[in-house]
Structure 1
Amino acid sequence: MEHEIVTCLPGIDPVLSEYSVGFLSHAATSTSPDADQELQEAIDAVTNILLDVADSKDPSSEKKVTDLVDKLVKQLAESHGKKVGAKRTVKRLENTIHMASQKNVSATAGLLEGGVDLDAVAGRKMESKVDRKKLEKAEKKIKAKQDKKIHKNVEYEASKLLVDPEENYEEFYMKVNPLQLGSSAGKSKDIKLDNVEVSISGKRILTDTSLTLAYGRRYGLVGQNGIGKSTLLRALSRRELPVPAHITILHVEQEITGDDTPAIQAVLDADVWRKYLLAEQVRISKRLEELDNYKPPSEDSDEEPLTKSQIEKERDEMDALLSDIHAKLSEMQSDKAESTAASILAGLGFSPERQKLATKTFSGGWRMRLALARALFCKPDLLLLDEPSNMLDVPSITFLSEYLQTYESTILVVSHDRAFLNEVATDIIHQHSERLDYYKGGNFDAFYATKEERRKTAQREYENQLAYRKHLQQFIDKFRYNAAKSSEAQSRIKKLEKLPVLEPPEDEYNVVFKFPEVEKLSAPIIQMTNVSFAYTPGNPIVSNVDLDVQLDSRIGIVGPNGAGKTTVLKLLIGALTPTGGTISQNPRLRIGFFAQHHVDGLDLNDSAVGFCSKQVPGRTEEEYRRHLGAFGITGTTGIQKMGLLSGGQKSRVAFALLSLKNPHILVLDEPSNHLDVEAMDALALALRNFAGGVLMVSHDVTMLDAVCTKLWVCDNGKVEAFDGDIKAYKKRIIAQAGQDGVVRQNHHV
Structure 2
Amino acid sequence: MEAELQSQIPGLDHVISEYSVGYLTHASKTFVEDTNAPSPLSEAADTITELLVSASGDFSSQNEEAIRNLLEKYISSLSSTDGVDPERRQMPFMAKKLDQAINVGSQRNMSSTLGLAGGNVDLESANSRKVESKVDRKKLEKAERKIRAKQEKKQMKTVHYESSRLLSQPDSTMSYEEFFMAVNPLQLGADSQTKSKDIKVDNIDISIGGHRILTDAALTLAYGHRYGLVGQNGIGKSTLLRALSRREVAIPNHISILHVEQEITGDDTPAIQAVLDADVWRKHLLIDQDKIGKQLAALEAERSSMADTSTDAARLDHEREGLDITLSDIHAKLAEMESDKAESRAASILAGLGFSPERQQYATKTFSGGWRMRLALARALFCEPDLLLLDEPSNMLDVPSITFLSNYLQSYPSTVLVVSHDRAFLNEIATDIVHQHSERLDYYKGANFESFYATKEERRKNAKREYEKQMAERAHLQAFIDKFRYNAAKSSEAQSRIKKLERMPVLEAPESEYVVHFKFPEVEKLSPPIVQMSEVMFGYSKDKPLLKNVDLDVQLDSRIGIVGPNGAGKTTVLKLLTGQLQPTSGLISTNSRLRMGFFAQHHVDALDMTTSPVSFMAKNYPGKSDEEYRRHLGAFGITGMTGLQRMELLSGGQKSRVAFACLSLTNPHILVLDEPSNHLDIEGMDAMSDALKNFQGGVVMVSHDVTMLQNVCSSLWVCDKGTVQQFDGDVEAYKKMISSQANEAGVALPH
Partner of 1:240: 248
2:291 paired with 1:283: yes
Alpha-carbon distance change, 295 to 180 in structure 1, aligned in 2, over 3 angstroms: closer
Q: Is residue 177 from structure 1 mapped to residue 184 from structure 2 by the alignment?
A: yes
The structural deviation recorded for 1:712 is: 0.7
CA gap 1:659/1:262 in 2 versus in 1, 3 angstroms? same
> Cα 1:502–1:132, aligned 2, differ >3 Å: closer, same or farther?
closer
Q: Is 1:536 aligned with 2:541?
A: yes
1:704 aligns with 2:718: no
Counterparts of 2:149 and 2:730, CA distance in 1: 65
Aligned counterparts of 1:181 and 1:345: Cα–Cα separation in 2: 29
Distance 1:472 1:139, change over 3 A: closer
Choose from 620, 624, 628 the match for 2:629: 624
Distance in 1 (CA, whole Å) between partners of 2:429 and 2:554 is: 36
Query: What amino acid is the match of 1:202?
Result: G
What is the match of residue 65 of structure 1?
none
Shift of 1:185: 2.3
**CA apart distance, 1:570:** 0.7
Which residue matches 2:257? 249
What's the counterpart of residue 148 of structure 1?
Answer: 162
TM-score, structure 2 length as denominator? 0.77
User: 1:430-445 counterparts in 2 under 5 A?
Assistant: 430-445=435-450
Q: CA deviation at 1:692?
A: 0.8
**Separation (CA, whole Å) in 1 of partners of 2:321 and 2:630:** 74
Q: TM-score scaled by structure 1?
A: 0.77
Which residue number in structure 2 is paired with residue 189 of structure 1?
197
Specify the alignment match of 1:336 in structure 2.
341
Question: Is 2:168–2:246's contact at 8 Å kept on the other side of the alignment?
Answer: no
Per-residue CA deviation, residues 205-225 of structure 1 (Å, 9 max, x unaligned), is 111111100000010000001
1:168 corresponds to which of 143, 163, 175: 175
Match of 1:260 in 2: 268
C-alpha separation between the residues in 2 aligned to 1:179 and 1:339? Answer: 24
Distance in 2 (CA, whole Å) between partners of 1:197 and 1:350 is 41
CA distance in structure 1 between the partners assigned to 2:338 and 2:568 by the alignment: 36
Separation in 1, partners of 2:519, 2:511 = 25
Say if 1:182 and 1:572 are closer, same or farther in 2 by CA, change over 3 A. Answer: same
Structure 2 counterpart of 1:416: 421
Could you say if the C-alpha distance between residues 401 and 174 of structure 1 is closer, same or farther in structure 2, counting changes exceeding 3 Å? same
**Residue 467 (structure 2) pairs with residue 459 (structure 1):** no
Aligned match for 1:645, one of 636, 643, 650: 650
Q: Which runs of 5+ in 2 are unaligned?
A: 1-35, 37-100, 105-143, 305-310
Counterpart check, 1:326 vs 2:337: no
* Aligned mates of 2:622, 2:162 — CA distance in 1: 45
8 Å CA contact retained: 2:270, 2:362: yes
CA contact (8 A) 2:517 2:636 kept: yes
Amino acid at match of 2:174: E
Equivalent residue number for residue 500 of structure 2? 495
Q: Please say which of residues 684-693 and 366-375 is displaced more in the overlay.
A: 366-375
Letter in 1 for 2:158: A
**Equivalent residue, structure 2, for 1:389:** 394
CA distance in 2, matches of 1:388, 1:507: 30
Q: Deviations over 1:488-542 (max 9, x none)?
A: 3443344334434343100100000000101111212111111111111110111
* 1:296-345 deviation line (CA, Å, top 9, x unaligned): 9xxxxxxxxx9444433332222222121111111111111111111111
CA contact (8 A) 2:349 2:747 kept: no
Q: Give how far 1:485 is off.
A: 4.0
Shift of 1:141: 3.7
Q: Distance in 1 between matches of 2:288 and 2:188?
A: 13
Measure how far apart 1:239 and its partner are.
0.2
Whichever residue aligns with residue 171 of structure 1, its letter is: E
- Distance in 2 (alpha carbons) for counterparts of 1:323 and 1:152: 33
Cα deviation 1:350-405 (Å, max 9, x = unaligned):
11111111111112221111111111111110101111111111111111111111
CA distance 1:310–1:482, shift in 2 (3 Å):
closer
Pairing 1:317–2:322 present: yes
Q: What amino acid maps onto 1:741 in structure 2?
A: G
Structure 2 counterpart of 1:684, from 685, 689, 692: 689
Residue in structure 1 matched with residue 307 of structure 2 by the alignment: none
What's the CA shift for 1:133?
Answer: 7.2
Counterpart in 2 of 1:509? 514
Paired residues in the alignment total 604
Deviation at 1:265, TM superposition (A): 0.7
CA–CA distance in 1 between the matches of 2:705 and 2:678?
9
**Using a 3 Å threshold, how does the CA distance of structure 1 residues 739 and 138 change in structure 2: closer, same or farther?**
closer
Preserved contact between residue 160 and residue 250 of structure 2 (Cα < 8 Å): no
Quickly say closer, same or farther: Cα 1:316–1:639, change in 2 above 3 A: same
Task: Quote the offset at 1:148 in angstroms.
Answer: 2.8
Cα distance in 1 for residues equivalent to 2:158 and 2:480: 54
Q: Secondary structure at the match of 1:185?
A: helix
Tell me the percent identity.
71
CA RMSD of aligned residues (A): 2.6
Asked if 1:604 corresponds to 2:620, the answer is: no
**CA distance in 2: counterparts of 1:571 and 1:524, whole angstroms:** 17
Alignment of 1:9-158 (within 5 A): 137=151, 141=155, 144=158, 148=162, 151=165, 155-157=169-171
Letter in 2 for 1:431: Q
Greater Rg over alpha carbons, structure: 1
Change (3 A) 1:499 1:154: closer
Which of 362, 369, 383 lines up with 1:378 in the alignment?
A: 383
| Cα distance in 2 for residues equivalent to 1:479 and 1:180 | 71
Identify unmatched segments of 5+ residues in structure 1.
Answer: 1-13, 15-77, 82-129, 158-163, 297-305, 744-749
1:728 aligns with 2:733: yes
Per the alignment, residue 217 of structure 1 pairs with 225
State the distance in 2 between where 1:155 and 1:699 align: 32
Partner of 2:476: 471
Give the 3 Å change call, closer, same or farther, for CA 655–324 of structure 1 in structure 2: same
Alignment-derived partner of residue 575 in structure 2: 570
Q: 1:308 to 1:662 in 2, by over 3 A?
A: same
What code does the residue aligned with 2:260 have? V
How far is 1:477 from its partner? 4.6
Amino acid at match of 2:588: I
For residue 279 of structure 1, give the secondary structure of its aligned residue in structure 2: helix
Q: In the alignment, residue 733 of structure 1 is paired with which amino acid? A: I
Cα gap change, 1:363 to 1:315, in 2 (>3 Å) = same
Cα distance, 1:742 vs structure 2: 3.0
| Contact 2:559–2:700 (Cα < 8 Å) also in 1 | yes
The 1:666–1:187 alpha-carbon spacing in structure 2 relative to 1, beyond 3 Å, is: same
SS at match of 1:196: strand
Deviations 1:112-138 (A, max 9, x none): xxxxxxxxxxxxxxxxxx999759946
Give the Cα–Cα distance (whole angstroms) in 1 for the partners of residues 722 and 732 of structure 2: 23
Name the stretch that deviates more: 572-581 or 506-515. Answer: 572-581
- 8 Å CA contact 2:532–2:553 kept in 1: the answer is yes
The 2-side partners of 1:503 and 1:677 are apart by 26
Q: Please say if residues 561 and 709 of structure 2, whose CA atoms lie closer than 8 Å, have aligned partners that are also in contact.
A: yes
Q: Tell me by how many angstroms 1:450 deviates.
A: 0.5
Structure 1 residues 377 and 146: CA distance shift in structure 2, 3 A: closer
Which range moved further: 219-228 or 133-142?
133-142
Is the aligned partner of 1:519 residue 2:533?
A: no
* Structure 1 residue 564 displacement after superposition: 0.1
Distance 1:374 1:592, change over 3 A: same
For residues 495 and 137 of structure 1, the distance between their equivalents in structure 2, rounded to whole angstroms, comes to 33
